[in-house]
Amino acid sequence: MNLLTIAAKSLRQRALSSSLTMLSVALGIMLMVAVLVINSVVSDTFSQRSIGYNLVIGPPGSDLANVLSAVYRIGKPRETLPYRILTEDVLGDDKKWKDWIHYAIPIAMGDVTEIGGFPIVGTTPKYFVVEYGPGKKFGLDGKLPIRPFDAVIGARVARENDWTVGSEFRLIHGGAESDHVHDEKFTITGLLAPTGTPNDRTVFVNLEGFFLISGHEKPPQEAIERLRRLGFVVTPQQEAEILAAGGGHDDHGHDHAHHHAIPDDMKELSFILVRMKDDIGAMGAIMMVGPFNEGLRAQAVNPVFPMNQLMKNFVGNFRQMLLCLTFLIVIVAGVGIFVSIYNSMADRKREIAIMRALGAHRGTVFSIILGESLLLCLGGGVLGLLLGHGLVIAVTPIVESRAGIIMNPFQFEPWELVLFPVLMVLASLVGFLPGLTAYRTDVADSLSD
């Protein structure tokens, strides 16, 4: 019979106190594992590994708000951009950065699905050509949204709504709290493979179809006034074309064949996602930001910078606080192990004396006490590891629904491997003094008592 077996039998004799002590260790480890895994998920989500674009161009205001809305679908865009921002300010022939840009992809947002309340993103098929993260390409079952009322949906949307290719859906104007349901129906032509990004919970519709929906175009007179206020040239001929097109738009019909084309000057974008050519990459984005933002019509930002600030100033500090708290909990659990074993020494003096009388060496008795401490720590560690991942699995749907962060509940954080060596050191420290007490036990005195 080896020493750990003897230690395990000794713990079973004090099953209740041993179980409670082990549970206290498990709870501390559970919290620490949950913090590590959730922090890893958040770090991966809000990092360059999950962003496929060098620039996000949006309305003037908060860099962070624009990135969260455009890339992560958290929050709604505060303002819109005239379509001319794309054609003249981003891709204009007179712009020095035109040749630096590989893709400039417009997106329009604001609506949600009638069923499920998933965010709608109007965009072009080029959106699915750009990698959604470095080295990560979209997988598609079906066809891209080529026709105006085509749509492609993310994996989570398909799963929760039980939609497939050929399913039809309608949009709610302005968000889930609105009761204005558009008459127009979009047909799903493709299903995206899971990406582990906000794309999984997004519905992508053809941008032209998005503009054809009543209420998505800028009223003619407002469009003209806004363009002039922002410094765009609107000739009398262009003004007449805008007014004529606005008067001929069918605001109520929902038959696709009866929709009239909307002139670009009445179109509004939420954001423009820019991917630079590989040979210029991030450096070109940095060189473009300053001159582009001088115009005050729109605001360009490298999405990595505000997300790094968010991680450093908020998420990072919050993580450190939680890790310190859980570390203290583990220390308190270690003290509990020490108290449990040390207090048992008074009741076990006769047991230890009998072991010594039967020929057990002092070192053997010392090792048995250390073995008890080791079993309590490692047993609590294994239980805490399982409970920690169980907690992550439990909170995953809550985090996804409320924060919009896609989580892999089975993600493993390499730092978890460090926990067990740390627990072994802790077990040695808290078991040393009780073991030393057992080591010094006087056989004759204990048997006479």
Same domain (yes/no): 380, 430: yes
Same domain (yes/no): 56, 204: yes
Same domain (yes/no): 331, 263: no
Same domain (yes/no): 127, 258: yes
Same domain (yes/no): 240, 366: no
Same domain (yes/no): 89, 215: yes
Cβ contact 282:276 at 8 Å: yes
The whole-number pLDDT of residue 192 equals 96
The whole-number pLDDT of residue 151 equals 97
The whole-number pLDDT of residue 307 equals 81
Domain boundary residue, one of 280, 302, 324: 302
Structure confidence by residue, pLDDT tens digits, 175-209: 555 567 888 899 999 999 988 788 999 999 999 99
The whole-number pLDDT of residue 399 equals 72
Domain limits for position 359: 3-45+309-448
Domain boundary residue, one of 268, 302, 336: 302
The whole-number pLDDT of residue 117 equals 87
Same domain (yes/no): 243, 284: yes
Give me the sign of the Cα torsion angle 193, 197, 200, 206: negative
Same domain (yes/no): 371, 389: yes
> What is the pTM assigned to this prediction?
0.72
- DSSP of 22-76: HHHHHHHHHHHHHHHHHHHHHHHHTSGGG---SEEEESSS-HHHHHHHHHH--S-
DSSP state, residue 125: G
Name the nearest CA neighbour of 31 among 308, 429, 425, 332: 332
22's tokens: 């082990």
Q: How many helices (DSSP H) and strands (DSSP E) are in the chain?
A: 15, 12
DSSP state, residue 259: P
The whole-number pLDDT of residue 252 equals 42
Same domain (yes/no): 138, 161: yes
Same domain (yes/no): 352, 263: no
Same domain (yes/no): 260, 196: yes
Domain boundary residue, one of 284, 302, 320: 302
Same domain (yes/no): 227, 151: yes
The whole-number pLDDT of residue 56 equals 95
Question: What total of structural domains would you count in the chain?
Answer: 2
Side-chain-facing half-sphere of 223: CA atoms under 13 Å = 26
Name the nearest CA neighbour of 207 among 141, 252, 155, 271: 271
In the three-class reduction of DSSP (H, G, I as helix; E, B as strand; rest coil), residue 58 is classed as strand
Find residue 192's DSSP bridge partners. Answer: 140
The whole-number pLDDT of residue 249 equals 47
Q: Which parts of the chain sit beneath pLDDT 50?
A: 248-254, 257, 446
